[in-house]
Structure 1
Amino acid sequence: MMFDLPDSQTCYDSFFARSPDMRGRLWVGVTSTGIFCRMGCPARQPKPENCSWHASVQSCVEAGFRPCKRCRPLEPEGADPLVTRLTRALEDDPARRWREADLLALGLDPSTVRRAFRRSLGISFLDLARMRRLQAGLGQLAGGARVIDAQLEAGFDSGSGFRAALTRLMGAPPDRWSHPDPLLRIDWISTDLGPMIAVADDHALHLLEFADRPALPKELERLRKAVKGRVALGRPAPIDQAAEEMRAYLAGRLTRFETPLVLHGTPFTRQVWEALRRIPAGETRSYSGLAQEIGRPEATRAVARANGANQIAVMIPCHRVLGADGSLTGYGGGLWRKERLIALERQMGASAG
């Protein structure tokens, strides 16, 4: 969310004094290097005349600054050494079953860890670790493993606990995702912004959502009912293509997706989604502006609803729509992801220019 910046001298003093009330609200662009930094960057302090002050990462990128490689301002807002330490530990051993006692053994306060992760990633560390273990279990099931073997791979002592966790994530128990003659297949895609669930047939992608999106279970259940239960775990070619394109996009090497898509929605909803796909990477629109573009200026609220109903994240770029005042507004994948996606695309656009 944008706010009015104080004068340059106040910004300079607050930023380099690491004022707590300005953390996450103030960034500096250094005109002599073309780099922008978050508060607390270990780089040498620039001279006041070389500082350009900004209230958001987006503003820095729009002004042509590149992210600092030392403080990494494109990482989730609020990231701190504690978050970095534990996410790296999770990457090193994703199957580990973390408990609060493990955090205490590391000399960490579980409530502090929980707050730090929710502030940075929108999810607690223990929930994130649990999701990674579920990913391992789903991978086993997709490969044809028995539920008991997938359960053990995921580090669940209880079969009922494993089934319940999968049901919460997928909207239905595992046996409903194992049709012998499926029309749709489901798999997990790992990305730098967190795990995503993908659904595709042999020719096109039907769904791509972040695994922690609250609406995901209902979206999956609607697809399952639409094909009368003919869904199974697996990885057809469109999911492979989507995974590769997401890796290239998040690495800043791709601005246009070519994965074939199936759009489930009313004619108006599909019209909005197609308009979203025409917004160039690095640009944004308001809801009212998007309504104008499709020739329905009176339909701003309907456009907002269609935007929120999008079930193919990133590839149908609903993150490129902002509030009329330039605020990030809502995003099913979390505002921290929306901010990073916009900043990434601004950076790619600046590099291309």
Structure 2
Amino acid sequence: MTLFALPDPDTLYDAMRARDASYEGRAWVGVTSTGIFCRLTCAARKPKRENCRWFDSLGACLEAGFRPCKHCRPLDPAMAAEPVIGTLLDALAARPDHVWREADLIAMGLDRGTVRRAFKRHFGMSFLDLARLDRLRRGFETLGEGGTVLEAGLDAGFSSPSAFRARVGRLLGLAPSDFAQEPRLTVDWIDTPLGPMIAVADDRALHLLEFMDRKALPTELKALAKGAKGMLGFGHTQIHDLLARELGAYFDGTGAAFTVPLCYHGSGFSHRVWDALRRIPAGETRSYGELAREIGQPSATRAVARANGANQIAILVPCHRVIGADGTLTGYGGGLWRKQRLIETEAGYARAARSERLPQP
């Protein structure tokens, strides 16, 4: 975690170009064209503005799928401050296919509590979480590129295809062997500063966007697979590409408008609620009662709440903008901490909108 609030992307880009050392340990840049992340003081050639994503922690960089730069070595300060971090990152690099467990830490003579605290302090996740995320991502990347389940399992460091099938099956509610080779609906992995998301789309519209750890995700994917008559598979479409660009702009603070076409799966009433959610400006919130009144059914507060919870296109259909009547945060499938972060992110858009409406001197 960090107490440093990132400034706007333009300020960060200027700081990177100037190699401003005041941002050391407080901000990092991920370069989408190379897949690496750097310190702002990195001496390498500066990336284009549109290829930059900004992060406030090392863990956020890694969760978003970026690898550390070999030139500026952004992990070095953490390893210097906590020698156990360097020891374990070296061990992870030396054994990328190993399935790490707490027993391995004990065998290395390391204290589990010390390891957990050190990694939580600098990465926001445990070492075992970091190792699992890295292995699973490699498998998804292989499948997305058209690789076989066997190739994906090996790339992900699993001992056998069946072990990989079991892990993905627990995560998604489906085994990779259940996915079609020529799918009607395509599943892709999209990284965000709030963690990886699963996006399901065809060539015309987005059908699902959920955080990987949402409990309802397996059920939602099974329903989509049934609706597509089993024709659900890995890969990406132009819709995924557009979604990734617009999510990047959203989290960078450069744009809260989404043009990705959406395909709803729900009742007509739910469609009306989701459309109403999309009309809430970024930076504003509504209560369930207010939303019910906006769709012309003031007595349907509970039904509105159910439709809100059934939304399976996170962020673009902004169910996170609905709060309790007393102003408190209410339940959110992606976790209340994410809801808080999304509302905080959108507060910047609200401030910008207000400043534009102020009369100019």
| Both proteins in one fold, TM over 0.5 | yes
Contact 1:179 1:229 in 2 (8 A): no
**Where do residues 12-27 of structure 1 align in structure 2 (5 Å cutoff)?**
none
Q: Which residue is equivalent to 1:7?
A: none
Contact 2:197 2:211 in 1 (8 A): yes
Give the distance between the partners of 2:55 and 2:96, measured in 1 at CA. 30
Q: Which residue is equivalent to 1:164?
A: 166
Cα deviation, 1:218-273, whole Å, max 9, x if unaligned, reads 10110000010111111010011111111111111111111111011100001000
Q: CA deviation at 1:160?
A: 2.2
Q: CA deviation at 1:113?
A: 2.5
Q: CA deviation at 1:129?
A: 3.6
Q: Quick one: structure 1 residues 240 and 350, their matched pair in 2 at CA, closer, same or farther if it must change by over 3 Å? A: same
1:145 and 2:147 are equivalent in the alignment: yes
Contact 2:173 2:219 in 1 (8 A): yes
Q: Quick one: structure 1 residues 108 and 294, their matched pair in 2 at CA, closer, same or farther if it must change by over 3 Å? A: farther
Q: Which residue is equivalent to 2:350?
A: 349
The SS at the match of 1:198 is strand
Moved over 6 A (4+): 69-72
Q: Quick one: structure 1 residues 103 and 322, their matched pair in 2 at CA, closer, same or farther if it must change by over 3 Å? A: farther
Amino acid at match of 2:352: S
The SS at the match of 1:197 is strand
Give the distance between the partners of 1:114 and 1:232, measured in 2 at CA. 39
Contact 2:309 2:333 in 1 (8 A): yes
Amino acid at match of 2:112: D
Q: Which residue is equivalent to 2:19?
A: none
Give the distance between the partners of 1:246 and 1:336, measured in 2 at CA. 18
If the length of structure 2 is used for normalisation, what is the TM-score?
Answer: 0.68
Contact 1:263 1:270 in 2 (8 A): yes
Q: Return the structure number with greater relative CO, CA threshold 8 A, min gap 6.
A: 1
Q: Which residue is equivalent to 1:286?
A: 287
Of the structure 1 ranges 310-319 and 100-109, higher mean CA displacement relative to structure 2 is found in 100-109
The runs of 5 or more residues in structure 1 that have no matched partner are 1-23, 28-41, 44-68, 76-80
Cα deviation, 1:279-336, whole Å, max 9, x if unaligned, reads 0000011111111111111111111110000100001000000111111111111111
Contact 2:139 2:155 in 1 (8 A): yes
Q: CA deviation at 1:156?
A: 1.1
Q: Choose the corresponding residue for 1:113, options 105, 113, 116.
A: 116
Q: Which residue is equivalent to 1:56?
A: none
Q: CA deviation at 1:89?
A: 5.9
Contact 1:282 1:348 in 2 (8 A): yes
The runs of 5 or more residues in structure 2 that have no matched partner are 5-24, 27-53, 61-77, 356-361
The SS at the match of 2:352 is helix
Give the distance between the partners of 1:302 and 1:184, measured in 2 at CA. 29
Q: Quick one: structure 1 residues 71 and 171, their matched pair in 2 at CA, closer, same or farther if it must change by over 3 Å? A: closer
Number of equivalenced pairs: 279
Give the distance between the partners of 2:151 and 2:238, measured in 1 at CA. 26
